[in-house]
A and B are shown apart, each in its own frame.
Chain A
């Protein structure tokens, strides 16, 4: 269906090639999964395969992409290509055009030349299969990241294209929603659809992947059947992160078995409502000093809402939250930030400085802490980013930006570090680097709380796992959520 022949591409105003001599064939009815570190060229590969590079982008293009035997540059434009190829980009929010979920999906169907009855049928079908019926009148901008991804995917799947190009369609989805999407895509593949998938969740997609491609630095490092690629140890580390050795670590075992420590966070009968919508109810939780706590649960279960109470960004509607014995209702966010560092899911919400070094210094300056070049260097070294100190933060890859966000917060040495899905969109190696940083931080006596959808991380890295559902804690255990 799609064939890339020696494709190289350099973005305008840059020197380094984003794609370098890529040759890849996407046969009809097959699923190719492309994985690799952030900045490896996976998204650029998607743009090339969808013809977008040839119709919408400048830059230097070499080689050729064929769609059904015809040069993709020869098609009339995106409108013509879109009849054959359905594409979902990695930024779900950017694909939300309208103000209700219903409008978002219907308006996509209305421009396909279908009759009204077929549109209504397709709409009803996709709303059921993507579990969107309850959300149909909600504003897409107010949905959780995972819910937005489901809407973006549904809007494309409803179009019924024969070729699907999906750039990390499940990165923000919970286990249940990911499994559901895998089932839907598997069924589509069985119906003869051709799928090019950029993903990091290889284990979820293992049954439907025919060809596994690993990309690094704009080149294909390995391509073949999953078994062939995974025989190589280095490739295996990129494709699947292995955290099992964390649990085998004696220090980790000691943390799990040790007696409860002095509480650093106490949540008592917490309930919270957004306007009239209840988000949390009857939460009681005590987090001990030096603990590594993982919070798991489906999208929209209240995980982020709960952790925003830890540094006073949200205040309880009822109940109390105490941080180091201080009631968050009586303390400013700036003062709580001395005790609790919160790293949000999207690192790009933080960065504004001209260099990585200045970005790290911002928090220290806010806190009135004394610091020098050594302080900044030491912090950057902890997250493996010392070599990027003079670079513009937004030039870094997604994995590096994620680690920089962590560095910005750990530089302030908070006793408690809270992270909202810190490994989203990262490959195995990058996720491992992030978790190494966090485990080291814990070993230095700090408390770490992470929100994650990755059960391996919860199982192997955390001393304690709490599961949330519909705004409540439904289980609290010493790891092993599966």
Chain B
């Protein structure tokens, strides 16, 4: 089973970069995504990320999350339509032909525009973060965070959070199979998800809590908290990193130029 947000052992552009370079990449793309409201510019950013993912041999892994992103987009646009009407009215969410409740909830250009902006921002943040996580071994992330003088407790929290994503995914699948074998058939769709809560989520949470204790002890016993470490097989900053950082700086300056001249 393909794991969500787990390191993928491959060779490629992103795998060869120093983790610090990749963190800069996330920071730049994340900042541009958050500050910009221009749909064309945000679309260009997402195309650039997807292009980089394919060049880095990580296209299928990034696209794996696309279904989730599409669902999220629909939800986000739905929420903005309901909560932030503005601009020209394009119609109604509940068609006027439906008696009594028809003709309610306006669908406006302003709400759709903002919904699309939010969706593109999330897409950029998710895809950029995913590219970083699936191309960097957690050990290298921890070492880089240590060098960035981030307190060890925060680093370990981040490590545990990353580690639990695939665990919960796999454990959830096993629990689901165990309940299916007992004739459990919650059905599909929203109602099915609601029915699944007790038989799937309760064992999932109970098992995860039991596991967290042993995981915490293992982290202490292996000495990760001591911060005494032999530096081994560590990434060094190479020419390709200087080149990439250079490109990122140019991209950042270009963005500032576009902002100052109000082009975007």
A residues neighboring B (CB under 8 Å)? 52, 56, 77-79, 81-82, 87, 89, 91, 93-100, 103, 106-116, 119-120, 137, 139, 141-142, 155, 274-275, 308, 311, 313, 332-334, 337-338, 341-344, 346, 348-352, 362-363, 366-367, 394, 408-409, 412
Let me know if B224 is at the binding interface, CB within 8 A.
yes
Name the B residues within 8 Å of A77 (CB-CB).
220
Contact between A337 and B222, CB atoms less than 8 A apart:
no
Cα–Cα distance between A333 and B202 once the two chains are bound (Å): 22
Binds A, one of B44-52, B78-86, B207-215, B241-249: B207-215
Cα–Cα distance between A394 and B206 once the two chains are bound (Å): 9
From B159, B175, B213, B228, contact of A113 by CB (8 A): B228
From B170, B182, B231, contact of A409 by CB (8 A): B182
Q: Which residue of B lies closest to A106 (CB)?
A: B232
Contact between A79 and B233, CB atoms less than 8 A apart:
no
Cα–Cα distance between A362 and B180 once the two chains are bound (Å): 11
Cα–Cα distance between A348 and B222 once the two chains are bound (Å): 27
Please provide the chain B residues from 216 to 264 with a CB less than 8 Å away from any CB of chain A in the complex: 217-226, 228-233
Contact between B163 and A79, CB atoms less than 8 A apart:
no
Cα–Cα distance between A82 and B217 once the two chains are bound (Å): 11
Q: Determine how close the nearest CB of chain A comes to the CB of B113; give it in whole angstroms.
A: 40
Mask of B110-143 contacts with A, CB within 8 angstroms, 1/0:
0000000000000000000000000001110000
Cα–Cα distance between A96 and B171 once the two chains are bound (Å): 14
Q: Which residue of B lies closest to A83 (CB)?
A: B223
Contact between B203 and A349, CB atoms less than 8 A apart:
yes
Name the B residues within 8 Å of A338 (CB-CB).
183
10 A-B residue pairs with CB within 8 Å = A82-B222, A89-B217, A97-B222, A111-B230, A115-B230, A119-B232, A142-B170, A313-B180, A343-B181, A408-B182
Q: Determine how close the nearest CB of chain A comes to the CB of B157; give it in whole angstroms.
A: 13
Cα–Cα distance between A363 and B224 once the two chains are bound (Å): 44
Cα–Cα distance between A394 and B205 once the two chains are bound (Å): 13
Name the B residues within 8 Å of A308 (CB-CB).
177
B residues neighboring A (CB under 8 Å)? 1-3, 6-7, 9, 137-139, 159, 163, 166-167, 170-171, 174-175, 177-185, 198-200, 202-203, 206-207, 210-215, 217-226, 228-233
Contact between B215 and A94, CB atoms less than 8 A apart:
yes
Contact between A82 and B7, CB atoms less than 8 A apart:
no
Contact between B178 and A350, CB atoms less than 8 A apart:
yes
From B9, B203, B233, contact of A348 by CB (8 A): B203
Contact between A362 and B215, CB atoms less than 8 A apart:
no
From B163, B183, B206, contact of A412 by CB (8 A): B183
Given contacts A78-B221, A311-B181, 17 further A-B contacts (CB under 8 A): A82-B220, A94-B213, A94-B218, A95-B218, A106-B232, A111-B228, A137-B9, A141-B166, A332-B185, A334-B183, A337-B180, A337-B183, A349-B203, A349-B207, A350-B178, A363-B182, A408-B182
Q: Which of A116, A275, A341, A366 has the most CB of B within 10 A?
A: A366
With A79-B225, A362-B199, A367-B183 known as contacts, the answer to whether A142 contacts B230 (CB < 8 A) is: no
From A81, A100, A116, A349, contact of B232 by CB (8 A): A116
Name the B residues within 8 Å of A412 (CB-CB).
182-183
Contact between A116 and B230, CB atoms less than 8 A apart:
yes
Q: Which residue of A lies closest to B211 (CB)?
A: A94
Name the B residues within 8 Å of A337 (CB-CB).
180-183
Q: Which of A98, A275, A344 has the most CB of B within 10 A?
A: A98
Name the A residues within 8 Å of B219 (CB-CB).
97
Name the B residues within 8 Å of A108 (CB-CB).
222-223
Contact between B3 and A141, CB atoms less than 8 A apart:
yes
Q: Which residue of B lies closest to A137 (CB)?
A: B9
Q: Which of A78, A311, A342 has the most CB of B within 10 A?
A: A78
Name the A residues within 8 Å of B226 (CB-CB).
79, 111
Contact between A100 and B9, CB atoms less than 8 A apart:
yes
With A56-B217, A108-B222 known as contacts, the answer to whether A349 contacts B178 (CB < 8 A) is: yes
Q: Determine how close the nearest CB of chain B comes to the CB of A161; give it in whole angstroms.
A: 10
Contact between B183 and A113, CB atoms less than 8 A apart:
no
With A103-B138, A103-B139, A113-B228 known as contacts, the answer to whether A91 contacts B222 (CB < 8 A) is: no
Q: Determine how close the nearest CB of chain B comes to the CB of A355; give it in whole angstroms.
A: 13
Contact between B181 and A333, CB atoms less than 8 A apart:
yes
